[in-house]
Amino acid sequence: MDSSRILVVATRNRKKGIELSELLEGLPFEVRTLDFYPDCPEVIEDGETFEANSEKKAREVSSHTGEWVVADDSGLEVDVLGGEPGVYSARYGGLDDDHSRNQYLLDKLAGRPPEERSARFVCCATLFGDGKVIYQVRATCEGRILHTPRGAFGFGYDPIFQPDGFDCSMAELPPSEKHRISHRGKALREIRNFFERHK
């Protein structure tokens, strides 16, 4: 595969950057986050799907840096809310911190029994380079919304999301276990597998 020795992870979110870098560890690239490119413009994620936002982010960051880029757009879909917050997960309710967004969602689900709290994390990851989409993948992690936040690991909606098959929140799982089952872990493994198949 004729590709750059640098792979840019298109995020300035410190916790997400660490997570993505861990998931890509071992590939024959120097993995960089956008902290390495402080003059890279912020990408306006105005797409109506995770796929559209992921591709736009990857395209614009690749255009600016001249490197191959992995960009993901991730979020939470709650069935009883018609898929909310979806692509608006990072700015749900117009709120700008994880704790407030979590509480906003819990308030919307107040009084709902467990069977009406089904939800999933979604991740769409795009690998972009040489002026084109190289590979794109969508992955999910099914579960339900808890009644109260639990756990100190992770970020975003992790404290209020219980993955199927577990009796704890995503934020109570150690990073290695979260990477194994999470939407982002599944998507990034597919990106890794793509590189392995095209060495």
pLDDT score recorded for residue 126: 97
Q: By percentage, how much of the chain surpasses pLDDT 70? A: 97
DSSP assignment letter at 37: -
Among 39, 46, 73, 158, which one carries the catalytic annotation? 73
Does 73 participate in catalysis according to the annotation?
yes
Q: What is the pLDDT along the chain (199 residues), one digit of tens a residue?
A: 444 489 999 998 888 888 888 888 888 888 999 999 999 999 999 999 999 999 999 999 999 999 999 999 999 999 999 999 999 999 999 998 999 999 999 999 999 999 999 999 999 999 999 999 999 999 999 999 999 999 988 889 999 999 999 999 999 999 889 989 999 999 999 999 998 887 6
Q: What DSSP line would sit under 150-173, residue for residue?
A: --SSS-TTGGGEEETT-SS-GGGS
Six token digits for residue 59:
């395209």
Strands (E), 102-169: 118-129, 132-145, 161-163
Candidates 66, 68, 8, 1; CA nearest to 33 is 8
Statement: 6-197 belongs to CATH 3.50.50.60 = no
pLDDT score recorded for residue 49: 97
Per domain, the residue ranges of the chain are 6-197
